[in-house]
Homo-oligomer: A and B are copies of this chain.
């Protein structure tokens, strides 16, 4: 793979650029995952992640991507669970598919990028549904869903709340215990600034009640087995050791910045990208209601007339910056710019400048600089 340009800037909504000190930690010599070093590593990382999740709930680190944790969250609850699955994007759809695989499911489907229908969720809860699944930050449409409002509905009806925090936790405020989220999960390759390969899931006492009653659970992501092994400072199956080394390093980087400062930095980065888009006359993709918000970790832009997603992606790439198009039915409709993890103001300006150049070359923008100037004003707050 010698052809990889090492200077490419990955501004995807995951994976994200990994800073050198974290990359280097991947190359540490392998250790025995049944020995005392791994025990210390696992216990230290788990405690730091509980701080990051703002939770006292049990927390487990799975060797698998965010979808592995997603399957764990849904699949461990047992087949007699009735889920209310809120979908307004690709990952909401994925959660819904998992709910359909593992239990009875009431889908609450909005247009992708439109607000979640809280009234319909409420109605299903009134009819006795057991659990609600929601994607906190819908990566596919650049939109943050109102988990706090949904959590109030769940509390009122004594229902479980399952939250996909893959592209929010660590970058957007998601206080698991204060919101009362029963199962929350995230992935390594997003706001944590790690390479992909690990995911983390927190489990409340109420969730354990469901899990303990479940007659069947998936095997590789069986949370009861994770709990039993966790008490010995182990994982039930062989963990992806290099990624645990990187996790330790990333959590040190995280601690040095602090959660509040990190969330503020993500917010300002996203605000600056939105300000640049506004200055350039590019519309944001999501349609908001009073309780949803533009994402502070990924910005979804409607592609201007007279240019195609593939053209923007390819020309950005030629200039050393990788951005994403849409997923599934949004493939050719939006451009997504991530601003997650350990990136800098310079990285944010870089992606905006490149976008301006391309739009100017294609006669969509008259002057280069108006976007980056607007962004820079916001970035000055940092």
Contacts and interface: CB of A to CB of B under 8 A. Distances in A.
B28 A239 contact: no
B242 A243 contact: yes
Interface in A170-217: 187, 189, 195-197, 216
A3 interface: yes
Given A35-B322, A220-B71, A240 B197 contact: yes
Nearest to A74: B219
Contact of A187 (B101, B238, B242): B238
Interface in A34-54: 34-35, 37, 40-41
A101 B97 CA distance: 21
A4 B243 CA distance: 16
Copies of this chain in its oligomeric complex: 2
B1 A28 contact: yes
A3 B39 CA distance: 13
A166 to B, nearest CB: 10
A167 B40 CA distance: 27
B67 A239 contact: no
Interface string A286-324: 000000000000000000000000000000010000101
A288 to B, nearest CB: 27
Interface string A210-251: 000000101111000000000000001111111101101000
A196 B241 contact: yes
Interface of A: 1, 3-4, 6, 8, 10, 12, 14-18, 23-24, 26-35, 37, 40-41, 63-68, 70-71, 75, 97-98, 101, 187, 189, 195-197, 216, 218-221, 236-243, 245-246, 248, 317, 322, 324
25 contacts: A1-B40, A1-B41, A3-B37, A4-B29, A15-B30, A23-B27, A26-B26, A27-B27, A34-B324, A35-B322, A63-B68, A63-B196, A65-B220, A65-B240, A66-B237, A68-B220, A71-B218, A97-B219, A195-B241, A196-B241, A197-B241, A197-B243, A220-B220, A240-B240, A242-B246
